[in-house]
């Protein structure tokens, strides 16, 4: 969440920054947060005044009793009791106001970076690079949707996945399953030079999911295990972000870099009317995430590093791709600055987002209370967080099946994946 002190010290700058997101309700939430913070400070001031008066009365009562002026002492005691009742009432109100303020701040999005492009929606996202690896034309055999190719090759069995688990679940078989695993191992190996591999839990607490910004706003998109107050992770970003929650890190340790392969679970509550065929949109999928904890000064360079690493993976596969920067009106709640990598799928005839790389400034770390201490300085500071999808399997898998489909219906496997495919260099009907 944003620092409440910004609301007190630089409100107009905060308002101007959030206005760039182009959403009226955000400014209404900001006004409510300002009102609640103002009321919280009024309560604190009144309580301080009451406590000072009660202390003063206590001294006066003692003096009066020593002088034998009992009647006057009892009058002051009555005033003290009334003030005590008022203080108790204020304490109850203070707790309620602080709770409401926190809930309000949790819903207010991050401030966009000054260099983030302005725009109302995804149509305003500027092209940063590409298209790369884009042929002059695609052959007719490449214009076949991956769900048709995969069905013919026997490597995608969504019908049985639906029988087992319900709609919008997918299941890869044979070489298709091997291809999914190969993509994840490829992504891990390509980032092992600088990132510590983590295998985090797939179930997390409410506090952990709140720290990354998924809660409370996106509760409808998450899978909840209510009996145990746990949530299935929508991405490994969630547990990785909270690895150091509530801890203080030495500045010399930063940046910390982590990577994780995990299954990801999303209810896709808002996907009505969207294309859910094949591998395009599913409740469960595999992904490799890369994440960094840093100082504010390290954030800009790390953002570009994570973006370049994600690009290197897609470029290595030989897929047509482009990089766009996300404008303020299309930016996610927690994002300070963000880039997307998209691959072109000729069978779907569309650009598919396969990686989102984002810098969150101190927005997530403040929720998770992740701090660092600078050498030789007193106190601590809130850390910065960054993350990126190193490689999300479904749409990359789909793009491979479409871009590398051969005239005979087989699919050529990108050379960088050969070491992970048990000797296979192409996928043919079984």
Q: Sign of torsion, CA 115 120 122 125?
A: negative
b/e 409-418 (16+ beta carbons within 10 angstroms → b): ebbebbebbe
DSSP 8-class letter at 377: -
Burial class (CB in 10 A: 0-12, 13-18, 19+), 324: buried
State whether 141 and 288 are in the same domain. yes
Question: What pTM value is reported for the model?
Answer: 0.92
Asked whether residue 50 falls in the same domain as residue 129, the answer is no
Instruction: Show which of 54, 72, 107 is a domain's final residue.
Output: 107
pLDDT value at position 269? 64
Q: Cα dihedral sign for 403, 408, 410, 414?
A: negative
Q: Is residue 259 domain-resident?
A: yes
CA contacts within 13 A on the Cβ side of 95: 5
For residues 87 and 126, membership in a common domain is answered with no
The Cα 187–Cα 181 span in angstroms is 10
Q: Any residues with CB less than 8 A from the CB of 53 and at least 6 apart, and which?
A: 83
Residue 68: how many CB atoms within 10 A of its CB?
A: 9
CATH number for the domain spanning 331: value is 3.30.930.10
**Is 87 in the same domain as 165?**
no
Question: What number of helices (H) and strands (E) belong to the chain?
Answer: 12, 16
Before 122, cis peptide (omega within 30)?
no
Number of domains present in the structure of the chain: 2
pLDDT of residue 215: 86
Residue 179 lies in a domain: yes
Same domain, 96 and 146: no
Looking up residue 84, the CATH number of its domain turns out to be 1.10.287.40
Candidates 362, 356, 338; CA nearest to 395 is 356
Rounded to whole angstroms, the Cα distance separating 425 from 411 reads 9
377, burial (CB in 10 Å: exposed 0-12, middle 13-18, buried 19+): exposed
CA–CA distance, 86 with 426 (Å, rounded to integer): 78
Q: What is the pLDDT of residue 271?
A: 57
**Six token digits for residue 33:** 């947060």
How far apart are the C-alpha atoms of 200 and 204, rounded to whole Å?
Answer: 9
> Is residue 256 one of the residues assigned to a domain?
yes
3 state SS of 406: coil
Tell me the pairing of strands 248-250 and 371-373: parallel
- Number of C-beta neighbours around residue 362 at 10 A: 21
Instruction: Check: CB of residue 376 under 8 Å from CB of residue 10.
Output: no
User: Which residues make beta-bridge pairs with 197?
Assistant: 259
Measured distance CA(254)–CA(282) in Å, rounded: 35
pLDDT per residue, tens digit, the chain (430 aa), is 999 999 999 999 999 999 999 999 999 999 999 999 999 999 999 999 999 999 999 999 999 999 998 999 999 999 999 999 999 999 999 999 999 999 999 999 999 999 999 999 999 999 999 999 999 999 999 999 999 999 999 999 999 999 999 999 999 999 999 999 999 999 999 999 999 999 999 999 999 999 998 888 888 899 999 999 999 999 999 999 999 999 999 999 999 999 999 999 999 765 555 577 899 999 999 999 999 999 999 999 999 999 999 999 999 999 999 999 999 999 999 999 999 999 999 999 999 999 999 999 999 999 999 999 999 999 999 999 999 999 999 999 999 999 999 999 999 999 999 999 999 999 998 7
CB-count burial class (<10 Å; 0-12, 13-18, 19+) for 211 = buried
Q: What share of the chain is helix, strand, coil (3-state, %, to 5)?
A: 45, 20, 35
Shared domain for 67 and 102, answered yes or no, is yes
Q: Is residue 48 located within the same domain as residue 165?
A: no
Cis peptide before 216 (omega within 30 of 0): yes
Q: Do 151 and 89 sit in the same domain of this protein?
A: no
Q: 297 and 380, same structural domain? A: yes
**Are 264 and 375 part of one and the same domain?**
yes
Report yes or no on 193 lying in a domain. Answer: yes
Q: 3-state class of 428 per DSSP?
A: coil
- Let me know whether 254 and 394 are in one domain: yes
State which residues form the domain around 339: 122-427
Is 88 in the same domain as 130? no
Helices 11-19 + 24-66 axis angle, to 10: 150
Q: What pLDDT does 101 receive? A: 96
Query: What backbone phi and psi angles, to 5 degrees, belong to 256?
Result: -95, 135
Q: Which two tokens stand for residue 378?
A: 């007193």
Domain-located, residue 117: no
Taken in order 410, 415, 421, 422, is the CA torsion positive or negative? Answer: positive
């Amino acid at each position: 969440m944003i620092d409440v002190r910004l609301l007190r010290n630089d409100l107009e700058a905060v308002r101007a920054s959030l206005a760039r997101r182009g959403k009226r309700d955000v400014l209404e939430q900001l006004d409510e947060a300002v009102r609640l913070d103002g009321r919280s400070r009024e309560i604190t001031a009144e309580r301080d005044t009451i406590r000072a008066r009660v202390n003063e009365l206590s001294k006066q009562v003692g003096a009066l009793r020593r002088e034998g002026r009992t009647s006057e002492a009892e009058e002051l005691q009555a005033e003290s009791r009334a003030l005590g009742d008022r203080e108790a009432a204020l304490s109850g109100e203070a707790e309620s106001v602080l709770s409401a303020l926190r809930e309000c701040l949790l819903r207010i999005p991050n401030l966009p970076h000054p260099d983030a492009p302005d725009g109302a929606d995804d149509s305003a996202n500027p092209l940063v690079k590409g298209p790369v690896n884009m042929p002059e034309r695609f052959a007719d055999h490449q214009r076949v949707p991956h769900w048709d190719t995969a069905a013919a090759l026997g490597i995608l069995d969504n019908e049985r996945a639906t029988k087992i688990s319900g709609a919008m679940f997918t299941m890869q078989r044979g070489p298709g399953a091997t291809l999914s695993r190969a993509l994840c191992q490829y992504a891990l190996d390509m980032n092992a030079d600088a990132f510590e591999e983590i295998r985090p839990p797939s179930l997390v607490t409410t506090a952990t999911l709140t720290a990354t910004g998924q809660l409370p706003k996106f509760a409808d998109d998450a899978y909840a295990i209510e009996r145990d107050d746990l949530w299935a992770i929508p991405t490994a970003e969630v547990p990785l972000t909270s690895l150091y929650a509530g801890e203080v890190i030495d500045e010399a340790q930063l940046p910390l870099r982590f990577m994780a392969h995990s299954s990801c679970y999303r209810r896709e509550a808002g996907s009505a009317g969207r294309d859910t065929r094949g591998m395009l949109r599913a409740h469960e999928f595999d992904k490799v995430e890369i994440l960094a904890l840093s100082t504010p000064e390290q954030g800009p360079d790390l953002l570009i590093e994570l973006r370049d690493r994600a690009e290197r993976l897609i470029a290595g596969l030989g897929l047509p791709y482009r990089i766009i920067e996300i404008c303020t009106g299309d930016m996610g709640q927690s994002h300070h600055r963000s880039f997307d990598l998209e691959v072109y799928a000729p069978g779907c005839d569309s650009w598919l987002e396969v990686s989102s790389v984002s810098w969150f400034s101190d927005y997530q770390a403040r929720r998770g209370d992740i701090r660092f201490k600078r050498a030789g300085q007193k106190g601590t500071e809130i850390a910065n967080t960054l993350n990126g999808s190193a490689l999300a399997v479904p749409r990359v898998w789909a793009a491979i099946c479409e871009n590398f489909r051969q005239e005979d219906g087989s699919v050529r496997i990108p050379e960088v994946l050969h070491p992970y495919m048990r000797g296979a260099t192409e996928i043919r009907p079984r």
